[in-house]
Structure 1
Amino acid sequence: MLANGITLGYKESEGSSYTILTGLKEVPELGVEPEKVENTCLSDTVKQYENGIGDAGDLEYKFKYENKTTTSPYRVLRKAQEANKTLSFQQTLPDGTTFTFDAQPSVKLGGGGVNGVIEFTLSMALQSSIAIVDPAAE
């Protein structure tokens, strides 16, 4: 499956629907890698480990920069950052799989050069677990 068609939406409250953020160019790996915790007893002949709490790593999304309207993704996300808001996000794959999570957004405007496009990076400070919903069976 190609990545083309992936969307990222956000919402501010439980009852509202997700608003799709336009200009999405790149998405991060999604999933949680549990920390390996050593738990060896004196009677063990090899080290024993257990999975600890998970770390989703750096969640960074790249977007095409555009700031012409009050609903431009750069402006909306920057204002959420300035207000220290936690938003709900939903990433949807072309097959209908969804990843839903809460996070505090921060944005960073990229640099530019001759024949270079300007992008911005959306970084997430995760505030919840990532809920995965599989698409409906055919």
Structure 2
Amino acid sequence: MLANGITLGMKKKGESTYSDLPGLKEVPELGVDPEKVDNTTLADKMKHSELGIGDPGDLAYKFKWENEENSSYRKLRTVSDAKETVSFEQTFPDGTKFHFDAQCSVKVGGGGVNAAIEYTLTLGLQTDIEVSDPA
């Protein structure tokens, strides 16, 4: 399956539906890398470890630069400036959905000769990522 067609939606508290955030160009890996915790005793002949809590890493989404009245950039910047926690829904073309709440920050990228301007949405998770499989 190609990544083409992945969408990211956002809804604020009290809203019932997700609003699509147009201009999405790149999505991060979703999941966790659990920390390996050493649990070796003095009687053990080799190291023993357990998997601890997971670290989702940086959730950074890249978007095409647009700064119009109802653009994704303005919506996300408003949420970022207010330090508001909102709900996100990332949907794959096959219907797999990932739901989570997060705070966000928005950063406009630099530019160069013959390069498109982008902005990056970085999310700080406030809940676990819940996965809904397609029917």
Q: Which residue identity lines up with residue 79 of structure 1 in the other structure?
A: T
Matched, 1:106 2:105: yes
Q: Which residue identity lines up with residue 93 of structure 1 in the other structure?
A: F
Distance in 2, Cα, partners of 1:58 & 1:41: 34
Change (3 A) 1:27 1:45: same
Distance in 2, Cα, partners of 1:18 & 1:80: 14
Q: What TM-score comes out, normalization by structure 2 length?
A: 0.97
- Provide the residue aligned with 1:115 in structure 2: 114
Structure 1 runs not aligned, ≥5 long:
none
SS at match of 1:2: coil
Report the more deviating stretch, 79-88 or 8-17: 8-17
- Provide the residue aligned with 1:130 in structure 2: 129
SS at match of 1:79: helix
Cα deviation, residue 117, structure 1: 0.9
Q: What TM-score comes out, normalization by structure 1 length?
A: 0.94
SS at match of 1:63: strand
Runs of 4+ aligned structure 1 residues displaced above 2 Å come to: none
Aligned pair count reads 135
- Provide the residue aligned with 1:11 in structure 2: 11
SS at match of 1:81: helix
SS at match of 1:78: helix
Distance in 1, Cα, partners of 2:130 & 2:85: 16
Identity %: 63
Structure 2 runs not aligned, ≥5 long:
none
| Aligned 1:1-138 pairs, distance under 5 A | 1-13=1-13, 15-69=15-69, 71-136=70-135
